[in-house]
């Protein structure tokens, strides 16, 4: 495992796994960078999302080539796992 602490625009590698415990507005705004930094077969794990924000966030990522493969809630918080597919696999 390699952990990076760098500006996103300075990173060019494709990652197999990205995790983020961030709120909805940040995850929504980071979509282009997360899409760029992942490749088919990659997973993204998001936590720190309010339950009522989950569907809109999933729609944003699913509009590209991600599919939700897991979701859970606890009280008013949610976590989701999305997998990136090739467009032809959707």
The Cα–Cα gap between 35 and 33 comes to 5
**What is the pTM for the complete model shown?**
0.89
Q: Is 33 helix (H, G, I), strand (E, B) or coil?
A: helix
Q: How far, in Å, CA of 15 to CA of 19, rounded? A: 11
Segment 65-82, tens digit of pLDDT: 999 999 999 999 999 999
> pLDDT tens, 34-76?
999 999 999 999 999 999 999 999 999 999 899 999 999 999 9
Q: What is the DSSP letter of 40?
A: E
Q: Which residue has the tokens 């760098």?
A: 6
5 or 16: which carries more pLDDT confidence? Answer: 16
Q: Selecting from 3.40.630.30, 3.40.920.10, 3.40.50.150, 3.30.1600.10, what CATH number does the domain 15-85 have?
A: 3.40.50.150
Domain chopping of the chain, boundaries: 15-85
């Amino acid at each position: 495992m390699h952990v990076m602490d760098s500006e996103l625009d300075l990173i060019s590698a494709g990652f197999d796994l990205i995790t983020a415990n961030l709120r909805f507005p940040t995850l929504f705004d980071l979509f282009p960078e997360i899409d760029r930094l992942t490749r088919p077969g990659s997973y993204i794990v998001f936590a720190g999302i309010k339950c009522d924000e989950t569907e809109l966030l999933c729609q944003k990522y699913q509009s590209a080539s991600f599919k939700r493969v897991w979701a859970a809630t606890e009280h008013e918080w949610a976590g989701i796992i999305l997998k990136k597919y090739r467009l032809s696999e959707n």
